[in-house]
């Protein structure tokens, strides 16, 4: 079966500044630079972000490789810690301005649409240590000023902007789970961080409305949306899944699209004496400055069950996840290397939900991909990674995405994570996601089999689906 995608479809890939550029010539450290400098043992192979994939020096060659992989759009990010010299005054680093101008121009020269994100978990660490980072209302204003500088400098050529990538990762990994620096575990502080991230997104959009120079310009936010599947139809499991959905999906989605946090969520937080501190003026800004477009990152579904202990247990500190617990469903299909369930049907469910509950606003798959450890084991005699598993993974997700589009979903693109194998937070280079392989010792970059496949896909705009895949999903499609 051949599936035709829309003519102007974005066939692209996503990455970020802090995961590719390296720390060359940067004026400030972000939270991960600092984390690595002080706690190298936390990072796989003790490999930090110093060099990454050397995009700062290699960007022209890298973009040429991206073109060879068939990408017509690429999402990356501008590093706050690189662009701004004085974080308080918002003065510009001229070398950084020159660098980002050159990157944007190089993308355009190759016919690749630059899609720019303004925050990929990479808060300047000085703002964390001096003010408390996203717990601080002052940092919200500093971020909005940084965003405004980006619109002034680059919106003449960049039409597609995103305020944050996966803000819930900042909240959960930094303030609940201990996965990211500052490794805080405190539910009430996590709630305040979540609110300030949403406010910062809205105030950046406010800046965009007055500064943007591009009539075709649009701005959005990128959320890692994951429907929460209950373990059973028992009311306790269903309620747990609803609470997980409120916190993990609807908090940022409702506020960004509708301008309001879900009332059920704010009522729960109030009852727990955990609601964020807010002003009427700031809540008004959230209501007024909503997104034009949504980016959706999807990797795996969320399986939810009733928590082990009742949420009204005594002498326990507040945490949003006291209302729900993850569980491992038996017999599911896995990316065994990454430990993530493979469930392409969820793409369809996300699309239908946006269509039904969020006015079918324009959106795209901003990240989707498959990380594999020790990927060199799949190299052929010529050294080319034969990543057929990645081709199958992508095909199956696009199969379900196409079904949603054919039913009216307003999805205009699909980005893989990532163009070139990139450095990741604390996992460093353990898992490889790219269409293009990176030798971290020599910085030699080579197209994988999937890059050649993606080139054919984007050129024709037609997805070839095998009978095996059609048979696999025959009962669900």
Rounded Cα distance, 162 and 294, in Å: 8
Of the candidates 228, 165, 48, the one whose C-alpha atom is nearest the C-alpha of residue 418 is 165
Whether the CB-CB separation of 137 and 197 falls below 8 Å is answered with no
Whether the CB-CB separation of 9 and 457 falls below 8 Å is answered with no
Whether the CB-CB separation of 45 and 83 falls below 8 Å is answered with no
Give the count of alpha carbons within 13 A of 119, CB side only.
Answer: 27
Q: Which residues pair with 365 in a beta bridge?
A: 296, 414
Angle of helix 187-211 versus helix 251-258 axis, rounded to 10: 30
Give me the catalytic one of 21, 166, 349, 375.
166
First to last CA, the chain: 14
In which order are the strands placed within the sheet that holds 302-305?
A: 228-230, 302-305, 325-326
Whether the CB-CB separation of 59 and 88 falls below 8 Å is answered with no
Sign of CA pseudo-dihedral 135, 138, 143, 144: positive
Whether the CB-CB separation of 401 and 365 falls below 8 Å is answered with yes
Catalytic annotation on 64? no
Catalytic annotation on 375? no
Give me the catalytic one of 21, 306, 367, 396.
367
Contacts of 317 (CB under 8 A, 6+ apart): 186, 187
Show which residues are catalytic: 166, 367
């Amino acid at each position: 079966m051949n599936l035709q995608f829309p003519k102007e479809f974005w066939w692209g890939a996503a990455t970020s500044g802090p995961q590719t550029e390296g720390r060359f010539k940067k004026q400030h450290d972000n939270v991960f630079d600092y984390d690595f400098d002080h706690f190298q043992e936390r990072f796989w192979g003790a490999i930090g972000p110093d060099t990454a994939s050397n995009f700062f020096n290699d960007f022209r060659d890298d973009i040429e490789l991206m073109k060879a992989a068939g990408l017509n759009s690429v999402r990356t990010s501008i590093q706050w810690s690189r662009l701004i010299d004085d974080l308080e005054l918002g003065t510009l680093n001229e070398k950084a301005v020159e660098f980002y101008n050159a990157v944007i121009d190089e993308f355009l020269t190759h016919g690749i649409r630059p899609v720019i994100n303004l925050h990929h978990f990479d808060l300047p660490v000085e703002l964390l240590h001096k003010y408390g980072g996203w717990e601080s209302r002052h940092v919200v204003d500093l971020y909005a000023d940084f965003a405004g500088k980006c619109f002034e400098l680059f919106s003449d050529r960049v039409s597609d902007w995103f305020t944050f990538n996966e803000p819930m990762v900042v909240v959960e990994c930094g303030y609940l789970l201990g996965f990211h620096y500052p490794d805080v575990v405190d539910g009430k502080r996590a709630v305040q961080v979540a609110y300030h991230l949403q406010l910062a997104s809205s105030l950046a959009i406010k800046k965009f409305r007055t500064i943007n120079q591009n009539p075709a310009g649009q701005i959005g936010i990128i959320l890692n949306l994951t429907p929460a599947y209950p373990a059973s139809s028992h009311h306790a499991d269903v309620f747990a899944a609803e609470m997980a959905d409120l916190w993990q999906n609807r908090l940022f989605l409702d506020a960004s699209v509708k301008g309001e946090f879900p009332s059920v969520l704010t009522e729960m937080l109030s009852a727990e004496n955990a609601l964020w501190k807010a002003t009427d003026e700031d809540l008004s800004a959230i209501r007024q400055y909503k997104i034009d477009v949504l980016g959706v990152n999807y990797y795996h579904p969320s399986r939810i069950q009733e928590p082990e202990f009742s949420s009204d247990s005594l002498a326990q500190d507040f945490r949003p996840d006291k209302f729900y617990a993850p569980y491992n469903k038996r017999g599911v299909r896995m990316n065994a290397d990454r430990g993530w369930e493979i469930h392409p049907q969820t793409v369809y469910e996300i699309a239908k939900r946006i269509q039904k509950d969020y006015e079918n606003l324009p959106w795209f798959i901003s990240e989707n991909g498959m990380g594999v450890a020790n990927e060199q084991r799949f190299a052929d005699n010529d050294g080319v990674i034969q990543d057929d598993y990645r081709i199958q993974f992508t095909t199956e997700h696009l199969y379900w995405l196409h079904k949603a589009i054919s039913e009216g979903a307003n999805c205009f693109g699909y980005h893989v994570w990532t163009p070139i194998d990139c450095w990741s937070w604390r996992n460093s280079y353990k898992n490889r996601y790219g269409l293009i392989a990176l030798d971290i010792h020599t910085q030699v970059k080579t197209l994988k089999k999937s890059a050649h496949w993606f080139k054919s896909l984007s050129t024709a705009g037609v997805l070839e689906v095998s009978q095996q895949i059609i048979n696999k999903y025959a009962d669900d499609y």
